[in-house]
Structure 1
Amino acid sequence: MHKTVIGRKLDAGKIIFPLVRGHVLRCLLVTNAKVGKLYAKRVSDSLKKRGIEARIVVLPDGERYKNLKSLEKLYSAAVKNGITRKCFAVALGGGVIGDITGFFAATYLRGIDFIQVPTSLLAMVDASIGGKTGVDLKEGKNLAGAFKMPRAVIIDTDFLRTLPSEEMKNGFGEIVKYALLDKEFNKFLSSRANKIKSPDGKFLTDVIKKSVKIKEDIVKKDYLEGGLRRVLNFGHTFGHAIETASSYRLVKHGEAVASGMIDAVELSFFLGLCEASEREKALALIDSAGFGKINIDAAKLLKLILSDKKVIDREPVFVLFKGAGKPVVKEVPVKVLKKWLKH
């Protein structure tokens, strides 16, 4: 498992230097224009103090740029900047930058090391943790990717000072997911639901630490997603379909996952897996974070679900819900899914 450091105003170079001894002290620092303007110099200067030269590459901002074209840009930049197997990459940004940089690191020269420095709440609690990397294809989200564990994840909550409110909300889509997967965290978050829309520093730090621990504990037991780790896809089968339907432009990942969780809870109730009381509590928690259901055409939704990488022998697989801390991974026959979509 990767080293994870959580704190405020962290010295990234100080944390990274001991991890890259024996490497050529040169790295590809990947970011986007918004984050780069705010923090690239701060991180590169911190690396420079330790004798590490950072070659900065700026990618376009947004999920729609998480594609093979951006990946090719990184390959070209790496070659031009003399990045060898003994060098490493640093992902400075949100989930898109982390996913692309990780996939680049997994495949460039058949693999180089990389470090995650997430700057969004969503990336801090989800995308940077656990070694999933990848890019989107026009046919669907994350259809090209690899498992590549970073050497470290450096979570500096100071970055959240400049995070727009809509991106803060976006991160809580995944945080609520953890609360529905973990009974103790559910109690914690449900009792503080009034803080979700206007979180203070201590509350944010607490939910980040708890979310990261839940995900890391699961990943340690099932890194390659052969069993237990699949529960982390709660809300994602529906959510990825919603993102794809919007061409990754109109709907943010956290919003899509939250809507996907609403669908998953409703489908669970339809199948008799959860009681009405558990359904209501789950939906109330999702609502408390300001999320609602995103409606798309049923036929289109079904088509996109069937192209999801989690489909087995043409039968879609969902993480369903029996209650807080009681997820269940289940294939749902297409005919049953069609019946639910019509009801």
Structure 2
Amino acid sequence: MSFDAIQYQPSAVRMLRAAVAHDRMPHAYLFVGPRGVGKGLAARELAKLLFCASPRGTDADTIDPCDRCDRCRRVDRGVHPDLYWFGKEEDRNDFRLPLVTRREGPDGTPAWLTVTVIESAALMPMEAARTVTVVDDAELLNRSAANALLKTLEEPSPHAVLVLLCADASRLPGTILSRCQWVRFRPLPEEFVAEKVRRVLAERVAAAEGEDEPAPVPSAAEIAYVCRFAGGSIERAADLAGSGLWDLKRALVARLPALDADAAFHMAQAVQDWGKALGRREGVKQDSTEGNAVRRRAARLALAAVASAFGDAALAAVDRDGGARLVNADQRDVVETLASWPPDAWARAVALLVDGQTQIRRYVHTELATENALLQVSRLRPSV
């Protein structure tokens, strides 16, 4: 594998190659873009190139790791001693302080964590000239974790490269953003994502043969929708295909032109029912921590799906020839009805729905936060 395996990201790839070719490596990168578009793969290839014993090529257009030396192979296996990779704990919605800096006490550093983010950036390389520390889901750093990481960014080690992988830079403090060199990753083309998703789904169907509950087979229209909704992320689109989001969003969006308090209540109930169905599909107990997490995730997705309809309305309002690529292209009639609402209503609706997602993320009661967001949006509907 090489940087050429990172498809549809020519600017990002050239920037990384040039930094290595010209030996102008910053102390910290911020890889920004949707999930599943190649940020993690790029971080791994960058580490391989920095560690490689015999790189191929010498200039910014051709330099690549050899993929044959022991160092490259160990990076691919995830066992190179100078590469550190961190992500949030699976049972949490945030990236907490004990993963960044060592703590004592009941909420201390997990026993399985042999080194923290800050410790990894301070360690001397064992084999290569540099260490590489990758922080996945960086936008999920909670406030205390972000503040602790800031100290490392302010006083970087000369032999360490820190790579933050981030899907939403707006959720990181400006003090961190300003101390990193940004590398932007674009959403992947819809047709490319759709083809990849179809392959993933075909593999799921084949793997589920003979099981009591076969894998769902989404329609072409559903696949097209989840690819648009996922913002060009193969990983996210594949997760959403067959999840039930398609049917739920069609029901929710269809109600928007006549949205009132009663409709808001029934929409919130439908979201709650979908969250429970997801929990059953994932085999978690409804009242468990895992079950609550599934319902929160479902509610955030549902509110985001509704918000996308108002974003589409803003596009449709200025789209004279009908060529705009709407997320909800399958319900363009509804979108055009929403486009007749006052322009400030679209922006306000999106803001309310985003705030609802934030409240749910902060562990506000999921059902109440969902219903409240939809109820507030209903008050924006112009009177007939």
Q: TM-score scaled by structure 2?
A: 0.32
Structure number with the higher strand fraction is 1
Structure with max Cα Rg = 2
